[in-house]
């Protein structure tokens, strides 16, 4: 891909991220009006010659952002996730397209009686310990495929959770590449897509199995290499440009002895969950993890621990993740979420985000479904 094409692609991605924010209506007033305001308010904490822990690798704006967040003594801790200090580098990973609301699935409301028994804390990893996919953190690489990852991760979990009674658990690591490459109604591949359409694809076309990049697991392993998102790690840095969407090949990898169509796993229903915390909790507790999307703000890139809530209004775009539980930490209610930026980001790939107030739109667009057996 030539330099001019790469720049055009990134420019288009930044443009649709801005469209996403306007279309979603998720931008709300914060304490400071923009990134420069945040940093200028943090400037009195340090001089431009200082570095975090004496390091010479942390850019001053990032250092000031981290120090500002931590001096607030808020509900979460920030830290340096090196490698993507420039927010524009993360925009291509935020793959929920701005017109996503037009592809929202019909809602399914659970019986009110189910809402009366919600515990204070719930973690799907502990509730279904014999379903290993719930504990996994995947890596979308440099592709804006979060919409596909959030879907296949939650679908893999539910395929196990709803295994036929009296039979061994169905452990299926479903392939993000099947959805990313072969779902023509799902959006624009690595340039973003629609979570609801990914779940509809599961119902109507099915999804084959597939492990991580460069693995021999399943029919269709993920073809885009893992990389270090925002950290100095062992995988190597992510590409600065969006890779081309892999070509759809309706054939299992060489050496896999199951036919492509025979490897398909299907859904029975796909639906949206009402944007109410108790409905989302009941859905997770009764049926398993769900896919959610939210607006990523610049300070989220520096998340390390605690319950995230934004303290800057430098919005970058829409990002899809998997919700797998909830709880209360130091009196603060949260959702437990799994990201797709590998285990070196955040809290070993997981994060917590404020629950009950639709923080960054996290409760506005929840997608789920049930497997077909």
Does the annotation count 287 as an active-site position?
no
Whole-structure pTM value? 0.86
Q: What is the mean pLDDT of the chain?
A: 86
Higher pLDDT, 90 or 279: 279
Per domain, the residue ranges of the chain are 3-30+74-371
pLDDT at residue 352 above 60?
yes
Rounded Cα–Cα distance for residues 38 and 22 (Å) = 22
Rounded Cα–Cα distance for residues 103 and 335 (Å) = 24
If you write DSSP's letter for every residue of 35-66 in order, what string do you get?
HHHHHHHHGGGS-TT--GGG-SSS-HHHHHHH
What is the model's pLDDT at position 84? 56
What is the model's pLDDT at position 275? 97
Rg of the chain over CA atoms, in angstroms?
A: 20
From residue 306, alpha-carbon distances to 78, 118, 134 in Å are: 9, 22, 21
Q: What is the pLDDT of residues 229-260, one digit of tens each?
A: 655 667 777 777 889 999 999 999 999 999 99
Residue labelled with tokens 């979990």: 157
Tokens of 362: 């996290």
Domain 3-30+74-371 carries which CATH code? Answer: 3.90.70.10
Give kind and range of the element (H or E) at residue 323: strand 315-329
| 251, 288, 323, 112: CA torsion to nearest 10 | 140
Please pick, among 146, 182, 183, 186, the residue that the annotation labels catalytic: 146
Q: Helices 35-42 and 60-71, interaxial angle, to 10°?
A: 70
Count of Cβ atoms closer than 10 Å to residue 166 Cβ: 5
Please pick, among 162, 173, 302, 319, the residue that the annotation labels catalytic: 319
Count of Cβ atoms closer than 10 Å to residue 230 Cβ: 23
What is the model's pLDDT at position 231? 59
Calculate mean pLDDT across residues 206-227: 95
- 54, burial (CB in 10 Å: exposed 0-12, middle 13-18, buried 19+): exposed
Residue labelled with tokens 């049930």: 370
Among 63-67, 146-150, 201-205, name the one with the lowest average pLDDT.
63-67
Higher pLDDT, 23 or 162: 162
Q: What percent of the chain has pLDDT over 70?
A: 81
What is the model's pLDDT at position 31? 44
The answer to whether 90 and 230 are in contact (CB under 8 A) is yes
What is the model's pLDDT at position 34? 46
Does the annotation count 146 as an active-site position?
yes
Please pick, among 81, 100, 191, 339, the residue that the annotation labels catalytic: 339
Q: What is the pLDDT of residues 97-108, one digit of tens each?
A: 988 888 899 999
Calculate mean pLDDT across residues 286-299: 97
Rounded Cα–Cα distance for residues 177 and 80 (Å) = 31
Does the annotation count 339 as an active-site position?
yes
What is the model's pLDDT at position 254? 95
Rounded Cα–Cα distance for residues 75 and 104 (Å) = 32
Among 109-113, 207-211, 364-368, name the one with the lowest average pLDDT.
109-113
What is the model's pLDDT at position 28? 42
Among 34-38, 154-158, 214-218, 236-240, name the one with the lowest average pLDDT.
34-38
């Amino acid at each position: 891909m030539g330099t001019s094409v790469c720049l055009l692609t990134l420019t288009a991605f930044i443009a649709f991220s801005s469209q996403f924010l306007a279309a979603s209506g998720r931008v709300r007033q914060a304490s400071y009006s923009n990134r420069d305001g945040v940093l200028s308010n943090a400037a009195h904490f340090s001089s431009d010659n200082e570095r975090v822990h004496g390091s010479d690798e942390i850019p001053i704006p990032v250092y000031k952002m981290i120090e500002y967040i931590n001096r607030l003594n808020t509900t979460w801790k920030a830290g340096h996730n090196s490698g993507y200090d420039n927010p524009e580098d993360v925009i291509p990973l935020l793959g929920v397209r701005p017109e996503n609301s037009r592809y929202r699935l019909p809602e399914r409301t659970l019986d009110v009686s189910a809402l009366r028994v919600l515990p204070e804390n719930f973690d799907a990893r502990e509730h279904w310990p014999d379903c290993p996919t719930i504990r996994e953190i995947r890596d979308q690489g440099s592709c804006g495929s979060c919409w596909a990852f959030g879907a296949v991760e939650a679908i893999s979990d539910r395929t196990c959770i709803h295994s036929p009674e009296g039979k061994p658990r169905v452990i299926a690591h479903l392939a993000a590449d099947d959805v990313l490459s072969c779902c023509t109604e799902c959006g624009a591949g690595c340039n973003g897509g629609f979570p609801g359409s990914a779940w509809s694809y599961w119902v109507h076309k099915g999804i084959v199995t597939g492990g991580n990049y460069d693995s021999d697991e399943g029919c269709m392993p993920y073809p885009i290499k893992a990389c270090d998102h925002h950290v100095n790690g062992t995988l190597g840095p992510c590409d600065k440009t969006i890779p081309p969407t892999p070509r759809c090949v309706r054939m299992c990898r060489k050496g896999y002895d199951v036919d492509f169509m025979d490897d398909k796993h299907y859904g029975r229903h796909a639906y949206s969950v009402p944007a109410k915390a108790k409905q989302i909790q009941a859905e997770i507790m009764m049926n398993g993890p769900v896919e959610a999307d939210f607006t990523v703000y610049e300070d989220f890139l520096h998340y390390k621990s605690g319950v995230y809530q934004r303290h800057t209004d430098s919005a970058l775009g829409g990002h899809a993740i998997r919700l797998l539980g909830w709880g209360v930490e130091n009196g603060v209610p949260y959702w437990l979420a799994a990201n797709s930026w590998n285990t070196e980001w955040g809290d070993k790939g997981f994060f917590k985000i404020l629950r009950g107030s639709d923080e960054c739109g996290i409760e506005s667009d929840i997608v789920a479904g049930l497997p077909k057996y």
